[in-house]
């Protein structure tokens, strides 16, 4: 039986503009699904139906239909405050905190005409690549509720995959959009550093964290990316995009171009720990490369030079980023989860000269990566190294082991943030399931040149046209 969530976000947007459904009617459809399915999936930690209904009425009466997300339901990531809404940052330290001000990203989504239903689950301060905090139920993978949805934008991905939202914003500081998108069979886009005015990354330590879309299709991701790129005036003159570039949605719809692809399985973590590629991840990569070659794209092998210092320097910056978490007293520190407490302790003990050394080293690494990739248009890697991880797989009591496990699951994501490059994850298919274990999503990652989002979206659109199959979990 057809239901509204079976439409893509772009199709829903078209129905809204054609008057086939109103923002309030579309919202009610999703609120009903949230009420029915969210308790099992754990995608949303805050649901505010009445506030969302008031917002939908406001959109209908006061927001111009030309707004790029007019009437589409979304949810704020739990790390992004909205005035008047509980914002816990995934931590018991802020269990009952009500935000007094809205983040710039929230204001941009409102200006774009979106209707927020609440907040999506995230791990404590977004520091982990899985979403199993102590303040809320885990974000479960809709394809197998015994497995995690990934992180840190795990709630956003679980919500989109389960049909609780048509599209959702996430944020990515080391893979936090791409990891859950891959785990949940979705499209996840990490923009270039400096691409989005409300989340350029230029004001973040090492320029790691940027917002971006999680969606079911490449065009849906482009729709949200355009909204984030155009919602406010650009304040950094040297980074402003050219007005001749046109909307990203055009690249995602046209799907034009032939590209030289570099296929890579090495990672800068190889010298730091043992990185294995599960058969399912390797099979997805090989299948995708075969299909992309059949589309006429050039394919060659590419690898990164050995970087034994990458692991220590990235860890230094990650720890330093945790040092500012507002936990000072013993009672406050005791509320933090073991991994967070470990990062905070290590970050606050770092000598300034070591942090400066790591920042300088990572800047040089960025240049080496871009130079190494300059012979190809797009680099193709597995999205993750294993199937989606079972709930409880990560060691909660041993922070060193926990960090290593995260690296082993996601060896190809963090270096893209360090390099400031755009990257897109695409679902390839499901593993072979049986009655005891359902099929699980596996995907690939496409890494573009600086500012190369349009090429990634065009290549992704070609992939979707060739495959003509979308993944759907049992709740669909």
Question: Exactly one of 116, 129, 133, 152 is catalytic; which is it?
Answer: 152
Question: Exactly one of 77, 116, 190, 192 is catalytic; which is it?
Answer: 77
Active site residue 176: yes
Active site residue 77: yes
- Phi/psi for 146 (5° steps) reads -90, 0
Closest CA to 229 of 378, 78, 79, 69: 69
Sort 239 into a burial class: Cβ within 10 Å, 0-12 / 13-18 / 19+.
middle
Question: Exactly one of 102, 171, 176, 358 is catalytic; which is it?
Answer: 176
How many Å apart are CA 38 and CA 162, to the nearest integer?
Answer: 9
Distance of CA 374 to the CA centre of its chain: 25
Half-sphere exposure of 356 (CA within 13 A, CB side): 3
From residue 66, alpha-carbon distances to 22, 58, 218 in Å are 15, 15, 21
Active-site positions? 77, 152, 176
């Amino acid at each position: 039986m057809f239901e509204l969530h079976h439409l893509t976000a772009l199709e829903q947007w078209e129905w809204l503009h054609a008057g086939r459904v109103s923002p309030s009617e579309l919202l009610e459809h999703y609120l009903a699904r949230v009420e029915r399915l969210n308790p099992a999936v754990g995608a949303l930690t805050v649901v505010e139906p009445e506030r969302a209904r008031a917002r939908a009425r406001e959109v209908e009466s006061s927001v111009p239909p030309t707004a790029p997300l007019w009437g589409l339901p979304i949810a704020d990531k739990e790390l992004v405050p909205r005035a008047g809404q509980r914002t816990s940052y995934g931590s018991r330290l802020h269990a009952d905190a009500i935000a007094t001000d809205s983040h710039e990203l929230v204001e941009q989504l409102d200006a774009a005409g979106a209707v927020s239903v609440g907040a999506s689950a995230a791990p404590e301060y977004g520091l982990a690549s899985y979403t199993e905090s102590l303040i809320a139920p885990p974000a479960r993978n809709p394809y197998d509720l015994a497995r995690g949805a990934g992180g840190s934008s795990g709630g956003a991905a679980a919500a989109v995959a389960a049909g609780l939202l048509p599209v959702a914003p996430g944020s990515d500081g080391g893979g936090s959009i791409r990891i859950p998108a891959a785990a949940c069979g979705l499209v996840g886009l990490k923009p270039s550093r400096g691409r989005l005015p409300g989340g350029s990354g230029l004001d973040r330590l090492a320029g790691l964290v940027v917002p971006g879309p999680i969606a079911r299709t490449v065009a849906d991701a482009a729709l949200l990316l355009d909204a984030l790129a155009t919602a406010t005036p650009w304040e950094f003159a040297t980074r402003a995009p050219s007005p001749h570039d046109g909307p990203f949605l055009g690249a995602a719809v046209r799907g034009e171009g032939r590209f030289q692809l570099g296929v890579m399985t090495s990672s800068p973590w190889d010298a730091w720990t043992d990185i294995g590629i599960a058969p399912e991840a390797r099979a997805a990569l090989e299948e995708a490369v075969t299909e992309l070659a059949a589309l006429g794209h050039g394919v060659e092998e590419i690898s990164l030079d050995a970087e034994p210092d990458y692991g220590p320097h990235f860890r230094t910056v990650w720890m330093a980023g945790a040092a500012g978490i507002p936990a000072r007293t013993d009672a406050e520190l005791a509320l933090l989860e073991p991994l967070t407490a470990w990062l905070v302790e290590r970050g606050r003990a770092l000598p300034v000269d070591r942090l400066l050394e790591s920042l300088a080293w990572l800047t040089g690494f960025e240049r080496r990566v871009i130079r190494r990739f300059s012979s190809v248009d797009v680099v193709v890697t597995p999205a993750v190294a294993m199937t989606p991880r079972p709930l409880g797989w990560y060691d909660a009591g041993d922070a060193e082991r926990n960090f290593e496990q995260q690296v082993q699951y996601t060896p190809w994501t963090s270096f893209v943030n360090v390099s400031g490059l755009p990257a897109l994850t695409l679902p390839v298919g499901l593993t072979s399931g049986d009655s005891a274990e359902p099929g699980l999503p596996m995907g690939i990652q496409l890494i573009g040149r600086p500012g190369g989002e349009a090429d990634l979206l065009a290549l992704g659109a070609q992939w979707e046209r060739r495959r003509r199959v979308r993944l759907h979990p049992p709740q669909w």
